[in-house]
Homo-oligomer: A and B are copies of this chain.
Amino acid sequence: MAVYTHVPAEDIDAFLARYDAGRLVSAKGIAEGVENSNYLLETTGPDGQAGGGQRYILTLYEKRVDEADLPFFMDLLDHLGARGCRVPRFIADRDGRRLQQLAGRPACLIEFLTGISVTEPTPAQARAAGAALGSLHKAAQGFAGERRNALDKAGWHALAARCGEDLDQIQPGLAPRVADELAWLDAHWPGDLPHSVIHADLFPDNVLMLGDEVTGLIDFYFSCTDVRAYDLAVTHSAWCFSNDGATWFGERAAALGAGYAEAHGLTEAERAAFPALCRGAALRFLLTRAYDWINTPADALVTRKDPLAYLRRLDFYAKADPAELLGA
């Protein structure tokens, strides 16, 4: 959520000269996404007309994104875009290259999409997000690329081990609570549900909207191959609670489920496993936030997100009536 690498405007202009994108007329470092450096560029557009207001995102990849994964993301967004999903495509230069180097970092020019990220989704917006996720899953069929989910259940075990007893510094009793939950998930995690490419991080931040319409799904840097319905569980945990996890919004959840059902739908087995998938999703964000909390100085560049906001979601899912989760 900051600009880590400063790139002189002259260098951005020289970088753009490799593309049919026009000349640079504005460059603003923007604070968004995972830990990359992002610039919002405006150019004269391919026809060289000043004031054309053509916009692009320039991303420089910092530590959290592995350069070897970039072709997977590029191919995925091409595949989804070609099938009607509103996703930001990576732009190729005149030689067909999408991956460049700039300021010593891997760097890409990416399509800019309009739309704003809502903070308090209405049920209509949650429904649109559910439908967009379903459409994404539909469009992902036939995509040949695969990427392992580093934050799957085995990944949660590894993260919990690295946090160790420090979890109890966040809240006394959190370490045994996490151990118990991992044991429960080991016993109840569904083994044979349909897999697919999933977004795996579809928070409201990563959905651009105009009114009730989705205009873009962004930030695919956690996308991977995993249990398809787990993607809906992640989205559910992100859209259906107050930020601190203390309040559950059943109407949003029902709308999210209805939107997803309309565009894609869940099998009976997926529906039956949904509570366990939600518990997994809540534990995943609890653990990554806890790890960052333990390992990030309180005054560092990155804002620490409260892990307990996801413990509250986990508590909710562990006690919830399964039927109520998707308003079925």
Contacts and interface: CB of A to CB of B under 8 A. Distances in A.
A28 interface: yes
A320 interface: no
15 contacts: A3-B31, A9-B117, A25-B115, A26-B114, A26-B208, A28-B30, A28-B31, A29-B30, A29-B31, A29-B32, A30-B30, A53-B53, A297-B299, A299-B299, A299-B301
A26 B57 CA distance: 13
Contacts of A2: 2, 31, 301
A293 to B, nearest CB: 16
B40 A28 contact: yes
B31 A114 contact: no
Contacts of A68: none
Contact of A116 (B9, B40, B208): B9
A318 interface: no
A321 interface: no
Contacts of A116: 9, 12-13, 24-27
Nearest to A12: B116
Copies of this chain in the oligomer? 2
A323 interface: no
Interface in A244-298: 297
Interface residues of A, number: 37
Interface of A: 1-3, 8-13, 24-32, 40, 42, 50-51, 53, 55, 114-120, 208, 210, 297, 299-301
A121 to B, nearest CB: 10
Nearest to A300: B299
A17 to B, nearest CB: 14
A114 B25 contact: yes
A50 B215 CA distance: 12
